[in-house]
């Protein structure tokens, strides 16, 4: 069961990600990115991080992507022109990818973490994810929480300042 | 005691240079006074007769080499001291009269005093290094004095020439000193004399080595006393004021070379080859110079070549192992040559700086005192029997007769030529009719100039009778050896023939009747040096300049600069401004980092 | 068949790495700056995935599961959202200045 879900979700994730980068229309890219975030949320669910999955959808797919789309519409970005495939670039990218793939393979095969298997606790009590996170967040990580709040405030102010037009 | 002789001129020079420049009369007084004090000290040393208190100062003490500033009080030194200070004092007084209107009067006397200090240092020196130090100082003073009128380019050139040619000789001298120290282990004359007297040539030193070392020492004399290859500076040195010519280039500095030879004679004697060389160079120089003097028209040039010729005599005498004769001739030569130069200075001064003898004539009428003193000087130089020059020259010829007949013949012929050109000079300048209008405006010089002339004339007359040669030491060849009468007869004959011939040929002429280009152009010695030394050196300099600009500058400096700049240009292309290129490079860096950490370090 | 039926941490890490690489490729290939930014977000999410995976498979001694990784991801998501906002504001300013979003035209950052 774990394996089945994992493979479905993983395939979807990769497919959506590829679609993001290979689409010429920016709106299409944005939508596929949203799709990617949803699939990522599913991956979080397979990892039993339910709270995070929901937060992911709400924040990323719900807010960030909407923001992206607003900006695309605002700036009226056209689809990229079709251009001849830059052979050199592709080659470079492939080379780099192969290099990293090699590293990953090496690292992954040597790690001892390959022993623990993913196992869902289907028959027990449901995992009370949000409660557990809340317990930790508001006790151990209060400072972090507060700082993040201030950061959000600063970001808001910054955005307003940055996008102001000069008043003539 | 020796400091009383040595230091006053130095103090005078320092005082004048630092403080007394604007006060001209005071500077002159200080300088003349210092010379007089030195004369007093010299007299004291002379009369103390070897008992004078002479102190020594340790200048540098190194293991194996002890350099001192000290003094020698032997007859050779005390005689030379008297000559230098006595003649020097007379010339100082004359110089005041000669240079009275010159704006650089104080500077002149400061330099004169510096010269006196350096010359006295050479005379008093008790070791070779001290002598070398003062040797160089004398060269410097000569440079300063020859180039006294430095605004004149010819004077500046002549000063440079004198210094550079002197330097060449000094280089050989220094090598000779080093060789002497290496062979004998000491540089003090007393120690060297004792060492050579005891053991002669040290074991293991070949004849070739000692010849080289002694030749090095002789090179110093060649430079300072203007012997044959290094003679070129002396005629050009006449660019300096006439008192300078009298003091330095007649009486004292050029004699320093001969004095040095007499000082180290016992070392030179160890190599027969060097003695031969010295003799032949001396003879050649005297003949060479006499030939050139036959065709010169500048009064000072003629006297300069005459000095060269007489110096050749002295060196020749040393080469014949006759040091006493050489010093005797040095002393009498100082008297009459200084007299001749000062009288020439009087003539030049009276004619408002005219130096060409063909523009003079009948000066007997306008400058009687100068006329008489010049006559006495000429007769002394040419060897009129009874005057000082006769005795000294004839003693040298006698020594040469017993050494090498060819050299004797050369000396005799040179004496003839000497008589000829001096008589030519005298007749053309002082007798006959006025050759130009300006002569009518000539006037006798003031007393401050004529009194030294008279005093020197007296010395030139009595010099042979006061026993100078007996004081210095025994003659090399005693007069009882055969041939004395022959030599004396031949020398008188050469005098008569030379004088008579010149009288006949130049008696009543208005312009130079004969012209020998090679003699007039001094055997082209300057041109030869120019072609063989100056031009190659300049070519070498040009090549080195090219090398420095293109190879060192271009290849090393500019190339490294260009490669750095080029590398910079190439590296600059890496920052093209393309964001994605930056990303690629960034990721490559991350990849390398991962490789390093994961593969090399961790696993 | 083991690797396909038994899911371990390595699978998730491989997935994360692959996602990261895809995002990187997007950054290097695309010319519109907005799309590049989106691919940047993709890379960020790949990191998040790795963190959550590690958190899932990490057991403290004593058998307790902790949630530090998930807290971290939570913070990352929040900060990333703020960052997106600011970045897009910058892009808007840039667009107003240069009238272009083509990265090839935005090449003033050079020597």
pLDDT exceeds 80 at position B533:
yes
Contact between chains at B595 and A96 (C-beta distance less than 8 A): no
Q: Which residues of A touch C100 (CB under 8 A)?
A: none
Beta bridge partner(s), residue C102 = C32
Interface probe for C, chosen from A24, A52, A86 (most Cβ of C below 10 Å), is A52
CA distance B419 to B508: 18
Please write down the HEC assignment for all residues of A83-114. Answer: CCCCHHHHHHHHHHHHHHHHHHHHHHHHCHHH
Give the relative orientation of helices B24-48 and B75-98 as an angle to the nearest 10 degrees.
160
pLDDT exceeds 80 at position B11:
yes
Query: Of A55, A135, B382, which Cα lies nearest the Cα of C77?
Result: A55
Asked if residues A23 and A32 have their Cβ atoms less than 8 Å apart, the reply is yes
Residue numbers of B between 542 and 601 with CB closer than 8 Å to C: 572, 575-580, 583-584, 587
CA angle, corner A134, sides to A129 and A137, nearest 5?
A: 125
For residue range B268-282, list pLDDT tens digits in order. Answer: 888 888 999 999 999
The two three-digit tokens of residue B234, written as one number: 């002396």
Percent of chain A at pLDDT > 90 equals 49
Q: Within 13 A of B87's CA, how many CA atoms are on the CB side?
A: 37
Contact with chain C for residue A64, Cβ under 8 A: yes
Contact with chain C for residue B207, Cβ under 8 A: no
Q: Which residue of A has its CA nearest to B583?
A: A93
Q: Which residues of C touch A137 (CB under 8 A)?
A: 71, 74
Q: Which residues of A touch C21 (CB under 8 A)?
A: 97, 100-101
pLDDT recorded at residue A41: 96
Confidence of residue B111 (pLDDT cuts 50, 70, 90): very high
CA distance B120 to B124: 6
Asked if residues B444 and B316 have their Cβ atoms less than 8 Å apart, the reply is no
pLDDT exceeds 60 at position C9:
yes
Asked if residues B232 and B526 have their Cβ atoms less than 8 Å apart, the reply is yes
Q: Which residues of C touch B584 (CB under 8 A)?
A: 28
pLDDT recorded at residue B603: 58
pLDDT exceeds 80 at position A101:
no
Contact with chain C for residue A32, Cβ under 8 A: no
User: How much is the ipTM here?
Assistant: 0.91
User: Among A15-19, A57-61, B395-399, where is mean pLDDT lowest?
Assistant: B395-399
Q: Which residue of B has its CA nearest to A111?
A: B603
What's the average model confidence in pLDDT over B567-587? 84
Contact between chains at A162 and C26 (C-beta distance less than 8 A): no
The DSSP code sequence of chain A is: -HHHHHHHHHHHHHHHHHHHHH-SSHHHHHHHHHHHHHHHHHHHHHTT-HHHHHHIIIIIIIIIHHHHHHHHHHHTPPPPPP----HHHHHHHHHHHHHHHHHHHHHHHH-GGGGPBP----SSPPP-HHHHHHHHHTTTTHHHHHHHHHHHHHHHHHHHHHTPPP--
pLDDT exceeds 80 at position A108:
no
Distance from CA of B564 to the nearest CA of A (A): 30
Q: Which residues of B touch A100 (CB under 8 A)?
A: 591, 594
User: Among A4-8, A15-19, B5-9, where is mean pLDDT lowest?
Assistant: B5-9
pLDDT exceeds 80 at position A114:
no
Chains in contact with A via at least 3 Cβ–Cβ pairs below 8 Å:
B, C
Percent of chain B at pLDDT > 70 equals 98
Of B584, B591, B603, nearest to A99 by CB-CB distance is B591
Q: Which residue of A has its CA nearest to B598?
A: A107
Beta strands B57-62; B65-69: pairing state: antiparallel
pLDDT exceeds 80 at position B54:
no
CA distance B32 to B539: 48
Tell me which of B175 and B24 has the higher pLDDT: B175
Contact between chains at B575 and C111 (C-beta distance less than 8 A): yes
CA distance A29 to C36: 10
Q: Is B61 helix (H, G, I), strand (E, B) or coil?
A: strand
CA distance B510 to B264: 49
Beta bridge partner(s), residue B62 = B65
Contact between chains at C56 and A49 (C-beta distance less than 8 A): yes
Query: Of B305, B359, B341, B454, which Cα lies nearest the Cα of B98?
Result: B341
Contact between chains at C103 and B580 (C-beta distance less than 8 A): yes
Distance from CA of C27 to the nearest CA of B (A): 7
Confidence of residue C35 (pLDDT cuts 50, 70, 90): very high
Residue numbers of A between 83 and 142 with CB closer than 8 Å to C: 89, 92-93, 96-97, 100-101, 104, 108, 111, 113-118, 132-133, 136-137, 141
CA distance A57 to B90: 121
pLDDT recorded at residue A168: 64
Q: Which residue of C has its CA nearest to B578?
A: C107
Q: Which residue of B has its CA nearest to A107?
A: B598
Q: Which residues of A touch B603 (CB under 8 A)?
A: 106, 110
For residue range B172-219, list pLDDT tens digits in order. Answer: 999 999 999 988 888 888 888 888 888 877 777 788 888 999 999 999
The two three-digit tokens of residue B158, written as one number: 């002549």
* Long-range contacts from B44-53, C-beta under 8 angstroms, 24+ separation: B44/B1, B44/B4, B45/B1, B45/B2, B45/B5, B45/B73, B45/B77, B45/B78, B45/B81, B46/B78, B46/B79, B46/B81, B46/B82, B48/B1, B48/B73, B50/B74, B50/B75, B52/B1, B52/B2, B53/B1
CA distance B552 to B222: 39
pLDDT exceeds 80 at position B435:
no
Those residues whose C-beta lies under 8 Å from the C-beta of residue A102, and which sit 6 or more positions away, are none
pLDDT recorded at residue B50: 67
CA distance B137 to A88: 81
What's the average model confidence in pLDDT over B505-514? 78
CA distance B211 to C63: 107
pLDDT recorded at residue B48: 78
Contact between chains at C52 and A30 (C-beta distance less than 8 A): no
Q: Which residues of C touch A75 (CB under 8 A)?
A: 34, 91-92, 95, 101
CA distance B378 to B549: 58
**Per-residue b or e along B355-375, where b marks 16 or more CB atoms closer than 10 Å to that residue's CB:** bebebbbbbbebbebbbbbbb
Q: Which residue of C has its CA nearest to A155?
A: C82
Contact between chains at A18 and C22 (C-beta distance less than 8 A): yes
Taking one residue from B and the other from C, the number of pairs with CB-CB distance under 8 angstroms is 28
Contact between chains at C107 and B583 (C-beta distance less than 8 A): no
Q: Which residues of A touch C12 (CB under 8 A)?
A: 43, 47
């Amino acid at each position: 069961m774990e394996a089945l879900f994992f493979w479905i979700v993983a395939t979807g994730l990769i497919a959506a990600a590829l679609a993001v980068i290979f689409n010429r229309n920016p709106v299409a890219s944005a939508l596929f990115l949203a799709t990617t975030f949803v699939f990522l949320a599913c991956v979080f669910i397979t990892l039993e991080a339910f709270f995070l999955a929901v937060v992911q959808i709400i924040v990323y797919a719900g807010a960030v992507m909407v923001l992206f789309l607003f900006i695309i519409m605002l700036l009226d970005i056209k689809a990229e022109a079709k251009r001849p495939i830059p052979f050199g670039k592709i080659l470079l990218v492939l080379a780099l990818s192969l290099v990293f793939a090699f590293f990953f393979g090496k690292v992954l095969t040597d790690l001892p973490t390959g022993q623990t298997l993913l196992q869902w606790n289907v028959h027990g009590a449901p995992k009370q994810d949000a409660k557990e996170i809340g317990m930790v967040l508001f006790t151990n990580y209060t400072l972090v929480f507060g700082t993040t709040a201030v950061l959000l405030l600063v970001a808001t102010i910054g955005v307003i300042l940055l996008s102001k037009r000069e008043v003539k | 005691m020796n400091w009383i002789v040595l230091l006053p001129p130095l103090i005078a020079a320092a005082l004048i240079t630092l403080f007394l420049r604007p006060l001209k009369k005071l500077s002159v007084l200080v300088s003349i006074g210092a010379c007089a004090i030195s004369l007093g000290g010299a007299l004291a040393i002379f009369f103390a007769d070897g008992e004078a208190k002479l102190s020594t100062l340790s200048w540098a003490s190194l293991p194996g080499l002890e350099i001192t500033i000290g003094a020698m009080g032997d007859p050779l030194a005390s005689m030379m001291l008297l000559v230098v200070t006595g003649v020097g004092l007379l010339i100082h007084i004359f110089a005041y009269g000669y240079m009275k209107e010159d704006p650089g009067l104080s500077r002149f006397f400061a330099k004169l005093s510096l010269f006196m200090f350096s010359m006295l240092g050479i005379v008093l020196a008790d070791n070779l290094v001290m002598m070398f130090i003062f040797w160089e100082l004398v060269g410097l003073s000569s440079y300063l004095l020859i180039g006294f009128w430095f605004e004149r380019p010819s004077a500046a050139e002549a000063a440079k020439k004198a210094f550079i040619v002197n330097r060449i000789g000094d280089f050989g001298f220094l090598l000779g000193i080093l060789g002497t120290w290496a062979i004998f282990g000491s540089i003090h004359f007393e120690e060297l004399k004792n060492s050579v007297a005891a053991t002669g040539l040290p074991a293991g030193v070949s004849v070739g080595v000692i010849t080289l070392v002694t030749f090095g020492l002789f090179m110093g004399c060649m430079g300072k006393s203007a012997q044959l290859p290094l003679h070129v500076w002396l005629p050009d040195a006449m660019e300096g004021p006439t008192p300078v010519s009298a003091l330095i280039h007649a009486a004292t500095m050029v004699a320093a070379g001969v004095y040095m030879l007499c000082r180290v004679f016992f070392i030179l004697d160890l190599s027969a080859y060097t003695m031969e060389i010295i003799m032949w160079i001396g003879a050649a120089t005297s003949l060479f110079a006499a030939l050139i003097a036959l065709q010169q028209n500048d009064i000072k040039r003629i006297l300069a070549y005459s000095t060269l010729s007489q110096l050749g005599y002295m060196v020749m005498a040393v080469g014949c192992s006759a040091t006493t004769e050489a010093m005797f001739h040095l002393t009498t030569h100082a008297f009459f040559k200084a007299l001749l130069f000062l009288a020439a200075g009087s003539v030049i001064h009276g004619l408002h700086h005219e130096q060409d003898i063909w523009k003079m004539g009948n000066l007997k009428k306008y400058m009687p005192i100068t006329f008489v003193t010049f006559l006495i000087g000429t007769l002394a130089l040419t060897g009129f029997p009874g005057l000082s020059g006769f005795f000294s020259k004839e003693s040298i010829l006698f020594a040469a007769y017993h050494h090498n007949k060819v050299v004797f013949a050369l000396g005799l012929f040179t004496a003839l030529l000497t008589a000829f050109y001096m008589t030519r000079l005298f007749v053309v300048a002082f007798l006959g009719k006025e050759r130009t209008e300006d002569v009518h405006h000539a006037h006798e010089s003031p007393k401050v100039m004529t009194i030294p002339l008279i005093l020197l004339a007296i010395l030139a007359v009595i010099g042979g009778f006061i026993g100078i040669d007996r004081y210095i030491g025994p003659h090399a060849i005693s007069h009882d050896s055969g041939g004395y009468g022959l030599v004396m007869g031949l020398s008188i004959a050469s005098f008569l023939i030379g004088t008579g011939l010149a009288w006949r040929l130049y008696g009543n002429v208005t312009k130079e009747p004969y012209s020998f280009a090679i003699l007039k152009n001094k055997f082209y010695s300057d041109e030869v040096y120019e072609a063989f030394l100056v031009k190659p050196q300049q070519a070498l300099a040009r090549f080195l300049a090219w090398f420095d600009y293109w190879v060192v500058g271009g290849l090393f400096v500019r190339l490294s600069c260009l490669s750095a700049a080029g590398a910079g240009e190439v590296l600059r292309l890496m920052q093209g401004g393309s964001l994605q290129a930056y990303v690629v490079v960034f990721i490559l860096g991350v990849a390398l980092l991962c490789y390093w950490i994961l593969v090399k370090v961790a696993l | 068949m083991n690797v396909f039926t038994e899911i371990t941490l390595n699978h998730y890490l491989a997935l994360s790495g692959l996602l990261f690489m895809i995002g990187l490729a997007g950054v290097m290939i695309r010319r519109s700056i907005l799309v590049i930014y989106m691919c940047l977000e993709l890379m960020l999410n790949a990191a998040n995935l790795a963190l959550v995976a590690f958190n899932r498979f990490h057991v403290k001694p004593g058998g307790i599961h902790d949630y530090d990784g998930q807290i971290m991801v939570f913070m990352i998501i929040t900060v990333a959202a703020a960052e997106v906002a600011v970045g897009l504001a910058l892009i808007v300013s840039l667009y107003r200045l240069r009238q272009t979003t083509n990265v090839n035209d935005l090449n003033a950052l050079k020597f």
